Structure formats: C-alpha cells, structure tokens
Amino acid sequence: MCGIVGFTNRTDCAEKIIEEMMDAIKHRGPDSEGKYVDSGIAMGFRRLSIIDLSTGSQPLFNENKNLVLTFNGEIYNYQSLRQELIAEGHVFTTNTDSEVLLHGYEQWGKDMLPKLRGMFAFVIWDTEKQELFGARDFFGIKPLYYADMGGTFMYGSEIKSFLHHPDFKKVLNETALENYLTFQYSPCEETFFKGVYKLLPAHWFTYRGGKLETGRYWSINFDADEKPDLDEWVKRISDVFKDSVEAHKIADVEVGSFLSSGVDSSYVAAVANVGKTFTVGFGEDEKYNEIGYAKEFSRFIGKENISKVITPEEYWSNFPNIQYHMDEPLADPAAIALYFVCKLASERVKVVLSGEGADEIFGGYNIYKEPDDVAAYNLIPRPIRRCIGKMAEKLPAHRGLNFLIRRGKDLEERFIGNAYIFSEKERKALLKIKTDAPDAKEITKPFYDRVADKDNVTKMQYLDLNMWMTGDILLKADKMSMANSLELRVPFLDKKVMAVAERIPKRYRVTKENTKFAMRKAALAACPPLTANKKKLGFPVPIRVWLKEDEYYTRVRKMFESERSKRFFNTEKLVELLDRHREGKYDNSRKIWTVYTFLVWHEVYFG
C-alpha cells in the first residue's frame, strides 16, 4: 500500500514541490519514497512495503523507459497476468505486482483494466506522447483525486498534498456543505475543495495537452438467476469467498484481521486463518463493547485477539487529527473507532483483512427488509398513501408519523442511502449561506434510472454500492488505515465475489427471517450459529450518551456558538438541536454530530 502524487510540470522548482507533496502523505508509505521529474511531469511516491520488499520501489519503468508508473494498491492476480505477459515477450525486472500494470498497459492499453483483480489507483506517464493515463479500482477502495488549476493538472491519493502546490487555490465548496448535511458525506464528484474532483470508481482518465477525458470500464449488473436452489447459492458463495480470501492474503509480511461481533468480520477471520484478530470497544456496556464476544470467537477459531477500550477523552481529543486525515468531513461516528482499531493493529502487523462490502453486495442492512415489512400497507392505493403521507408531514412530530410519511413516498423519494440526516427543508432553515446544491433526489436519480426495472431491495443495494459504500464506508476504511500506515484489504469487494452476488435472487438475499440470508448460510460452515445469524449491528458508538454529559455538551455548544459557526449556520437552531437532545425530547445525535464534524474539519483546513 502506498500513496501517489503528481502534477504536470511548468515550474522551475518541481523537485521541491513534489517532495513537499510527498511529505504530506508520508503516513501512507513510511518505508521508502521515490520521484520522477522531467519537463512535462513530476511524479511522487511513498511506499508501505508489502510485496517484493527488496525491489518493489517506485516509480517503475518499462524496458525502454518511455512509460513511468506510480501505483497505490494491490493486484491479486498479478502472478497469472505476469506469466501471460512474459509469454508475449515482456521482460520483468522485479517480482512486484506493480510491474504488471506497466507491461499490461503496453500490451492491452485501457483493455488491461477489466483483466485486473484487486484494489488500485495508479497513473502512467507516456514520455513520448506526453500523456497521463490513470485509473481507479472497480469499487473505489483506493482513492484518487485531481484538480486542474492555473494551467497545472495535479493528482494524488489525498487532497492535502495539493495544498503544497503554488497553483492550488484553497476555496471551500459551499455546495458540498449543503449536500453533506443530508448525506453525512460528500456525495458528488466535486469535493469540499472547489475545483478538486474524485475520479469515480471503475473509471479511467487521460490528460494530454490540457484536455481531460474520463470513461467507465466496468459496471455492477444485478441479473438474478432463479434456477439454482439455496444450497447451490450457499456453495457458490462459500467457494468464491474462500478463493477471494486466499488472494487477499498474498503478502511478504504478516496479515491480521479485524473482528467485531458481526458475521462479516467473523466470516473473514475464520476463513482467513490468520494469527491475530483486533477489536476495540467503549466502556463495559455490551451495547457499545464487542470485545468479550471477539475474544470468545477468537478462542473458537484458535487465534489471538488483541483489544482496546477507547475512552471518551481519547475519542474526542483525536477527532481533529482524524478529520485532517479524512480530507473531507465525514460524520460517521464509527470512523473514529476504526481509526483506533487501525492504530492497534498497526503496532503488530502491516496488513489486515476487514469485512467491508458484505452488506452492500449480499443485502445486509436492516433497512433492506423495509419493502417486505410494509407490503400489506402498500396494498392501499398509491394516491391514498401519498395523501396520508402529506397530511402526516404537517402534524407535530410524534411516534408513528414517520412511518406514514415514508410510506407516502416512492422508494426513489425516501431512500438516499443508509444515512438521511437533514431534509432539504431542514438544511435550508439551518444554513445562512445560499448555494445551488441539488435536491438529494437529483443526485441519486442516475443510479435509480440504471435499475428502474429491478425490485426495491436491488435498487437500494445498487444505490448503496455506488454512493454510500464509496462515500462513507470505503473512504473511512482507506483514510483511517493509511493514517496509521496500515494496509486494509476487503475480500468481500472482489469482482469474482460480485459476479456471484449479482446473480443471487432477491429471496435469497433478504427474507423476513434475516438479511444477507444466503451469505449467512455460507458463514455457518466456518462460524457458530449465534454469529452467522446475528442481527446487523454496525459499529456502535455512544455519541448520543456523551452529548448529554456536561463536558461534551459544553464542548459542542462552544463550537456551535463560535464565530466560525455563525459564518455558515443559524446558530440558535443548532443550540436548540443540542438542548432538545440533552433534555431527552429527541435523539438529535446524528444531526448534531454532522454539523460538529464539519466545523471541526473546517477549523483544521481553513482555521
């Protein structure tokens, strides 16, 4: 795992600039560094040594030195691709997976991308064409940002590296703020920094002569195969997942595994057969502490569990540093817990396996049961349901009304992903600033349009795979692991696993009994029934409890009443949210945390 940075060169101090940019992401690769600078490009690289420890440094060159590569990630099928390329006459000088990208691009061009199996963000400079080519992996596990400012095109694994380039203009994208208040993450291509964009998952780009071109090379395609029975689907899941885990264990260093009380990480840990598992929790309440379960499960599989209890003060005091590493504000409280479990693991291993992605591809979130749970209510004609919902919206908040409001809306109106923090009306009332932020439905519509003929559960999964997973789940996985110089691998997010998952009928994904139904059956072969059948919990964090305590209530209120806050928000509304939560009238913890996160992030980057 590594970090990459670079820019088109039109300055006489490129060496100094690229070194400063590389230093900004040293945490991504503390083992070594490398750079390449010519009259057209400056490329920088920071390395965390995982495969081919002695000769795997970058930048890498092809035989005649006309192609230069910097690469972040892992190619798990590099050995078979290497043999195929050698048979075509290519000469390799290292044993690293990185070199496959160079010769693969020589041989196949863009057509190389669908052949890869792994997680990656890379760029290749063609010295003859004076052209940059880059790409991001299938699911967006590895990040890649770019900006075109002052005639300079710059790219990198993290936005913070751009701050060191003299052509970079640091301007807050206020439209991103308004979108974020609804989604709890930045949902669009343009980031919180105006003019800085994310290369989307499964996309490539070329940049030549001031012209940027992008394109997509792979898509998820849910197409249920109704013929195989449940037992056959369980076997297929078991076989493909074991194969993926073995591929994800390829390394020349020790590999560990994260472990919570859920089936995803437990399934990974059991199948992976690694030596160490890592767990964190809060206090002694089992609602917020899964350490006891993790230790018991680790004994079940005969492995060592290493754990840590996170104190409230550790959580809050590390929060500004965590937002620095995140690049953009992310209001998922679990991100901080993930930071600590990464820190714990990094003290003993360089690589960990984790369970991200299982919920999205196999249908694991509890909300996916909603379409079936309300099937009876949906027998009421749609116009009547919509009328009831609109009437309920006008009534004072009361238990049960939200059901009527939601049932009065079509799925495309009510579901934007696993977080829906502030409605458009609420965020407009909260903000002082005026932006041209689109309605949430405008952002989700392109994804819904692609699966318009699918059932509601599949639509929800597809939206989460393309938005929530990339914008929240994988963002925090990459940034929190790399903040601690740790490589995090996600064997569920493998294109071969996805090829099986997208064919599973809806009735084997989500049932009235449970979510991830077929996958849980597969996990039974490696995990005890209590684990395989355990209800989806998430990463529990006691934010709602802490916000009622004097110390943390006061800390948040001070930030809400600050001059910084007054620039963006009607602060009396913020304080009202906080006070009502403290009084127990409403659980406003997620709304409070979303605003507080932005203000802390803004203080870090614009303070």
Return the sign of the alpha-carbon dihedral for residues 177, 179, 185, 191.
negative
Same domain, 188 and 319: no
Take residue 478 and report the two structure tokens written for it.
């990459």
Q: Poorest-confidence range of 43-47, 92-96, 479-483, 593-597?
A: 92-96
Omega prior to 371 cis, within 30 of 0: no
Report pLDDT for 533.
66
What confidence tens digit (pLDDT) does each residue in 130-146 have? Answer: 999 999 999 999 999 99
Query: For residue 339, which of 159, 479, 129 has the smallest C-alpha distance?
Result: 479
Same domain, 210 and 113: yes
In a domain, 402, yes or no: yes
Average pLDDT, the chain: 93
Same domain, 356 and 379: no
Give the other-Cβ count within 10 Å of 549's Cβ. 13
Report pLDDT for 47.
86
Same domain, 273 and 310: yes
Q: Which residues contact 268 (CB under 8 A, 6 or more apart)?
A: 245, 257, 258, 353, 354, 355, 491, 492
Give the other-Cβ count within 10 Å of 586's Cβ. 11
First to last CA, the chain: 31
Same domain, 171 and 145: yes
What confidence tens digit (pLDDT) does each residue in 502-543 have? Answer: 999 999 999 988 999 999 999 998 887 767 666 665 556 889
Q: What are phi and psi of 470, to 5 degrees?
A: -75, -45
Which residue among the candidates 2, 188, 342, 527 is catalytic per the annotation? 2
Residue 54's pLDDT band, with cuts at 50, 70 and 90, is low
Cα–Cα distance for residue pair 518/363, rounded to 1 Å: 10
Cα–Cα distance for residue pair 58/47, rounded to 1 Å: 8
Take residue 223 and report the two structure tokens written for it.
């197409």
Take residue 403 and report the two structure tokens written for it.
């059901």
Q: What is the CA radius of gyration of the chain?
A: 24
Collapse the DSSP code of 206 into the 3-class scheme (helix H, G, I; strand E, B; otherwise coil) and give the result: strand
> Residue 177 pLDDT more than 90?
yes
Q: What are phi and psi of 51, to 5 degrees?
A: -120, 140
The residue ranges of DSSP E strands in 334-459, in sequence order, are 351-353
2 is catalytic: yes
Take residue 6 and report the two structure tokens written for it.
């670079």
Cβ-defined contacts of 385-389 (< 8 Å, 24+): none
**Could you tell me whether strands 203-208 and 32-37 are parallel, antiparallel, or unpaired per DSSP bridges?**
unpaired
What confidence tens digit (pLDDT) does each residue in 184-231 have? Answer: 999 999 999 999 999 999 999 999 999 999 999 999 999 999 999 999
Q: How many domains does the chain fold into?
A: 3
Whole-prediction pTM: 0.94
Q: Poorest-confidence range of 87-101, 328-342, 368-382, 527-541?
A: 527-541
Give the number of C-alpha atoms closer than 13 A to the C-alpha of residue 330, restricted to the C-beta side.
29
The whole-number average pLDDT for the span 377-391 is 78
Same domain, 399 and 498: no
Q: H or E element: which one contains 545?
A: helix 543-546
Residue type, 6: G
Same domain, 175 and 277: no
Contact, 568 vs 432, CB < 8 A? Answer: yes
Report pLDDT for 528.
78
Could you tell me what percent of the chain has a pLDDT over 90?
A: 81
Q: Residue 270 sits in a domain of what CATH number?
A: 3.40.50.620
Collapse the DSSP code of 10 into the 3-class scheme (helix H, G, I; strand E, B; otherwise coil) and give the result: coil
Please tell me which residue, 94 or 476, carries the higher pLDDT value.
476
The domain of 201 spans 2-216
Give the other-Cβ count within 10 Å of 590's Cβ. 18
Overall residue count recorded for the chain in this entry: 607
Report pLDDT for 78.
95
Report pLDDT for 596.
98
Same domain, 162 and 115: yes
> Residue 246 pLDDT more than 70?
yes
Cα–Cα distance for residue pair 374/280, rounded to 1 Å: 36
Residue type, 605: Y
Report pLDDT for 181.
98
Same domain, 207 and 239: no
> Residue 408 pLDDT more than 90?
no
> Residue 24 pLDDT more than 70?
yes
Same domain, 350 and 386: no
In a domain, 455, yes or no: no
Q: Which residues contact 30 (CB under 8 A, 6 or more apart)?
A: 46, 48, 485
Give the other-Cβ count within 10 Å of 54's Cβ. 10
Cα–Cα distance for residue pair 322/335, rounded to 1 Å: 8
Same domain, 210 and 253: no
